[in-house]
Structure 1
Amino acid sequence: METRLTRTGQRLAGLAILVAISAVIGTIVVVAARPHTQAAPPPAVVAPVTTPLPAKYVVLTFDDGPDPAYTPKVLEVLAKYDAKATFFEVGKNVAKHPELTKAIQAAGHSVQNHTWSHADLRHQTAAGFRKQVGDTDTAIKSASGTTPTCLRPPYGGVSATVRKRAKELGKELVLWTIDSRDWSKPGVAVIEKRVLSGVKSGAVILMHDGGGNRSQTIAALPGILEKLKAQGFGFRTLNC
């Protein structure tokens, strides 16, 4: 009797072990079958892509606009060659054509101060100087949303007094190193030659998009840009 009970107990114990093993296996299977609930790793941080400024560059500048006949054509050519420029604008022209100033700014160019009426600042009173510059600032700010920090004195007219007054208004005077003299309408080939002869990195090139017939400037601009780019020049804008 005792032997039978022992065998029965052994069988029951064995059965219990099998049941326990089956339960463990089932649990393992269930756990393995559950969907992955661990939080996904955070996305990789990608550094912002920035376009470095060109090491070899020129600064294209256009004076006396904006002009409804020529400024849009200048903008069209610049866009075609992916070139940026700085426009020194006459305040009264901005007041007449604020949409052009806005378009210049929207295209990524710089808009700066060239006085209200293209006045020679050497011959202005202190009050006249402030009005010529201040009224132009106001017109440009109204059209573009930005206030100029650079001032190009018409005719390149600079004196100790002009420098002092400009500084008091927080303006930096900007002239040029290459004068195309396109205002004299010498011909497309001459304008191109004047710009490209002796050009070097850092050159500030003076051209015009207003103040008269600028059709020769428009015609010369594609050749100028093509040759500058072929020589490895990039383009920077001025923000003083």
Structure 2
Amino acid sequence: MKNDQRLPLRRTLLRLGAGLAAATAVRLVVADPVGTPLRRAAPPSAGAAGTRAAALRARPSAYRLRPMTANTPPRYRPALPPVRTRPFEELPGIGRAMVLTFDDGPDPLYTPHILDTLRTYDVRAMFFLCGEMAHDNQDLVRRIADDGHTVGNHSWTHPLVTKLSRAGITDELGRTSDVIEKITGAPPLWYRAPYGAWNRNSFEIGAAMGMEPMAWTVDTLDWTVPGTDSIVRRVRGGAAPGVVVLSHDAGGNRSQSVAALRRYLPELLEDGYRITVPPRR
């Protein structure tokens, strides 16, 4: 083929390659839409003085925020880029089932009672652990895992994540995942931002660590110590397929949370609800 014949062919191939690259770029942009910026959470009140574990149990009220999400992801997918811009708020597609979650533990005073109740009714729940509490209560972490519950990451010291640098978020989540893996033999696959305060950095860093973000649908507000009856009413009133219930087994006086679980759990089961945890990916 002569040189003057090769030149038009080369130009055609170059144009075709450029067109394919542009089409690929468009698909990548569509696959990773950036959601509406998350609202910034109000900073938490200062914790009580003392040891780190005591400080977690003695946190004052107004240190829990409502979910910052409005949309439920339609399905699961691997926690790899492009990452989520919203956490799971409920779990669709699990039938007539609900998910019970407990934050801030494990606490040697309250967590064992919650585990006993869950074992009595042979159900599984999710426990989002603070790394420093897990480090100080390793036997309890093992019991949670051995009983078949899902162990999640709730940061190391329960900070306001939106105030941290990327390095700070990486340290908080990374140290907690490391200690959970060291104790249980497996890294956590789910994490929950303290105070329900998420940002893009936390989504990206959590995804890089192989974790999915989990928020909640029903807030029992048990951290306000509203009374056992009030906690039970909130759970029963919010009961529905796919609902995720937020409670606490540490971070303060959780005796009402323990008592409420003993009441509403058998009632939910009698109403035909399954109490379950997300399937492993």
One fold, TM greater than 0.5?
yes
Match of 1:140 among 168, 177, 180: 180
1:94 is matched with 134
- Correspondence list, 1:52-67, <5 A: 55-67=95-107
Letter in 1 for 2:252: G
Match of 1:72 among 112, 129, 133: 112
1:197 is matched with 237
Preserved CA contact (<8 Å) 2:107 2:249: yes
Alpha-carbon RMSD across the aligned residues, in angstroms, is: 1.5
For residue 92 of structure 1, report the CA deviation from its aligned partner. Answer: 0.2
Larger Rg: 1
2:47 is matched with none
1:218 is matched with 258
Q: Secondary structure at the match of 1:195?
A: helix
Letter in 2 for 1:115: S
Question: Are 2:197 and 1:157 equivalent residues in the alignment?
Answer: yes
Question: Are 2:143 and 1:122 equivalent residues in the alignment?
Answer: no
Q: Secondary structure at the match of 1:95?
A: helix
Preserved CA contact (<8 Å) 1:54 1:234: no
Q: Secondary structure at the match of 1:196?
A: helix
Quote the Cα distance in structure 1 between the aligned partners of 2:197 and 2:187: 22
Task: Percent identity, please.
Answer: 38
1:14 is matched with none
TM-score, structure 1 as length reference: 0.75
Please list the CA deviations of residues 151-195 of structure 1 after superposition, one character each: whole Å capped at 9, or x if unmatched. Answer: 100000012332223223322110000000101000000000011
Quote the Cα distance in structure 2 between the aligned partners of 1:200 and 1:111: 23
Where has structure 1 moved over 3 Å in runs of 4 or more? none
Preserved CA contact (<8 Å) 1:54 1:233: no
- Correspondence list, 1:106-117, <5 A: 106-117=146-157
Quote the Cα distance in structure 1 between the aligned partners of 2:142 and 2:266: 27
For residue 124 of structure 1, report the CA deviation from its aligned partner. Answer: 1.0
TM-score, structure 2 as length reference: 0.65
Letter in 2 for 1:214: R
What 5-or-longer segments of structure 1 have no aligned partner? 1-52
Quote the Cα distance in structure 1 between the aligned partners of 2:274 and 2:216: 17
Question: Are 2:121 and 1:81 equivalent residues in the alignment?
Answer: yes
Quote the Cα distance in structure 1 between the aligned partners of 2:109 and 2:119: 17
Preserved CA contact (<8 Å) 1:94 1:101: yes
Q: How many residues align?
A: 188
Please list the CA deviations of residues 49-102 of structure 1 after superposition, one character each: whole Å capped at 9, or x if unmatched. Answer: xxxx97310001000000000010000111111121000000000100100000
Quote the Cα distance in structure 2 between the aligned partners of 1:126 and 1:73: 37
Letter in 2 for 1:123: K
Quote the Cα distance in structure 1 between the aligned partners of 2:94 and 2:171: 37
Preserved CA contact (<8 Å) 1:61 1:205: yes
What 5-or-longer segments of structure 2 have no aligned partner? 1-92
For residue 199 of structure 1, report the CA deviation from its aligned partner. Answer: 1.3
Preserved CA contact (<8 Å) 1:115 1:154: yes
